[in-house]
Amino acid sequence: MALLTVENLKMYYPVRGGVFHRTKAVCKAVDGVGFTLEAGETLGLVGESGCGKSTVAKSVVRLLKPTGGRVVFEGNDITHSGARELRTFRREMQMVFQDPAESLNPRHTVGQILEEPFVIQKIGTRGERSEWAAELLRRVGLPVDALGRYPFEFSGGQRQRIGIARALALKPRLIVCDEPVSALDVSVQAQVLNLLLELQQQDRLAYLFIAHDLSVVQHMSDRVAVMYLGKIVEIAPAKDLYRNPRHAYTKALLEAIPQVDLSRKRERKLLKGDVPSPINPPAGCAFGHRMRHPKWEESVAMNLSLSEVSPGHWVQPCPCCTEEGRFSGLPVA
Amino acid sequence: MNAPLLEVRDLRVGFQTDHGLLVAVDEVDLTLERGKMLGLVGESGCGKSVTARAIMRLLEQPSGQVLKGEVKLEGRDLLPLPLEAMRKVRGKEIAMIFQEPMTALNPVHRVGKQIVENLLLHEELTPAAALKRALELMEWVGIPAPDQRIHDYPHQLSGGMRQRVMIAMALSCNPKILIADEPTTALDVTVQAQILELIKRLQKETGMAAILITHDLAVVAETCDDLAVMYAGRLVERGTVESIFRSPYHPYTKGLLECLPKLDHPPKTMLPIIPGMVPGLRDLPIGCRFAARCPNAHGDEVLATRQPWKDCGGGHGVEACACFASKL
Average pLDDT over residues B28-49: 93
Average pLDDT over residues B318-323: 93
CB-closest option in A49, A212, A260 to B218: A260
- Cα-based distances in Å from A209 to A20, A94, A206: 41, 12, 9
Q: Are B213 and B182 in contact (CB under 8 A)?
A: yes
Distance from CA of A195 to the nearest CA of B (A): 9
| Model pLDDT, residue A317 | 87
Residue of A nearest to B162 (CA): A274
Does the beta-carbon distance from B267 to A220 stay under 8 Å?
yes
| Model pLDDT, residue A266 | 58
Residue of A nearest to B221 (CA): A260
| Model pLDDT, residue A264 | 56
CA dist., res. B35 & res. B150, Å (int): 30
CB contacts of B273 in chain A (<8 Å) are 187, 190-191, 194
Average pLDDT over residues B169-187: 90
Beta bridge partners of B31: B7
Distance from CA of A315 to the nearest CA of B (A): 20
Which sign does the torsion angle of CA A139, A143, A145, A147 carry?
negative
Q: What percent of chain B has pLDDT over 90?
A: 64
CA dist., res. A188 & res. A180, Å (int): 12
CB-closest option in A221, A256, A265 to B190: A256
Residue of A nearest to B192 (CA): A256
What amino acid is encoded at B232 in this protein? A
Residue B206, phi then psi, degrees to nearest 5: -105, -15
CATH code of the domain in which B293 resides: 3.40.50.300
Let me know if residue B106 belongs to a domain: no
CB-closest option in B190, B270, B278 to A252: B190
Distance from CA of A133 to the nearest CA of B (A): 22
Let me know if residue B259 belongs to a domain: yes
CB contacts of B279 in chain A (<8 Å) are none
Let me know if residue B110 belongs to a domain: no
Q: What angle do CA B147, B151, B155 make, to 5 degrees?
A: 125
Let me know if residue B198 belongs to a domain: no
Whether residue B1 has pLDDT greater than 70: no
CA dist., res. A66 & res. A28, Å (int): 11
Q: Give the mutation candidate from B158, B190, B220, B290 for the A interface (greatest A CB count, under 10 A).
A: B190
CB contacts of B271 in chain A (<8 Å) are 190, 193-194, 219
Highest mean pLDDT among A7-16, A37-46, B103-112, B255-264: A37-46
Written as one string, the DSSP assignment of A99-126 is -HHHHS-TTS-HHHHHHHHHHHHT-S-H
Interface residue B260 vs chain A (CB under 8 A) = yes
Distance from CA of B259 to the nearest CA of A (A): 6
Specify the range with the lowest mean pLDDT, choosing from A59-63, B118-122, B246-250, B285-289.
Answer: B118-122
CB contacts of B246 in chain A (<8 Å) are 262
Residues 6+ apart with CB under 8 A from A129: A115, A118, A119, A123
CB count within 10 Å of CB B314 equals 10
Q: Are B115 and B137 in contact (CB under 8 A)?
A: yes
Let me know if residue B141 belongs to a domain: no
For chains A and B, CB pairs below 8 A equal 138
Edge-first strand listing for the sheet containing B64-73: B20-32, B6-17, B64-73, B76-77
CA dist., res. A47 & res. A206, Å (int): 20
Average pLDDT over residues B166-188: 90
Residue of B nearest to A42 (CA): B268
Does the beta-carbon distance from B267 to A197 stay under 8 Å?
no
CB-closest option in A185, A214, A239 to B43: A185
Residue among B205, B221, B114, B214 nearest B168 (CA): B114
CATH 3.40.50.300 holds for A4-92+170-328: yes
Q: Distance of alpha carbon B269 from its chain centroid, rounded? A: 33
Q: Are B226 and B315 in contact (CB under 8 A)?
A: yes
Let me know if residue B1 belongs to a domain: no
Residue among A236, A247, A245, A240 nearest A312 (CA): A236
CB contacts of B217 in chain A (<8 Å) are 186, 260
Q: Distance of alpha carbon A332 from its chain centroid, rounded? A: 31
Residues 150-209 of B with CB under 8 A from A: 158-161, 188-194, 196-197
CA dist., res. B145 & res. A134, Å (int): 59
What share of residues in chain B are helix, strand, coil (percent, to 5)? 35, 25, 40
Residue of B nearest to A50 (CA): B188
Q: Give how many domains chain B has, as a whole number.
A: 1
Whether residue B157 has pLDDT greater than 60: yes
The range of the structural domain enclosing residue B41 comes to: 6-82+225-325
Let me know if residue B17 belongs to a domain: yes
Omega within 30 of 0 (cis) for the link into B62: yes
CB contacts of A253 in chain B (<8 Å) are 189-190
The residue ranges of every structural domain in chain A are: 4-92+170-328, 107-169
Q: Are B13 and B67 in contact (CB under 8 A)?
A: yes
| Model pLDDT, residue A331 | 36
Distance from CA of B144 to the nearest CA of A (A): 9
Distance from CA of A6 to the nearest CA of B (A): 24
Let me know if residue B119 belongs to a domain: no
DSSP B105: S
Does the beta-carbon distance from A221 to B267 stay under 8 Å?
yes
| Model pLDDT, residue A155 | 86
What amino acid is encoded at B223 in this protein? T
Residues 6+ apart with CB under 8 A from B14: B21, B22, B23, B24, B64, B65, B67
Mean pLDDT by 10 residues, chain A (333 residues): 94 85 86 95 92 92 94 94 91 90 91 95 94 95 92 90 95 95 86 95 95 91 95 94 92 86 64 75 85 84 87 90 54 33
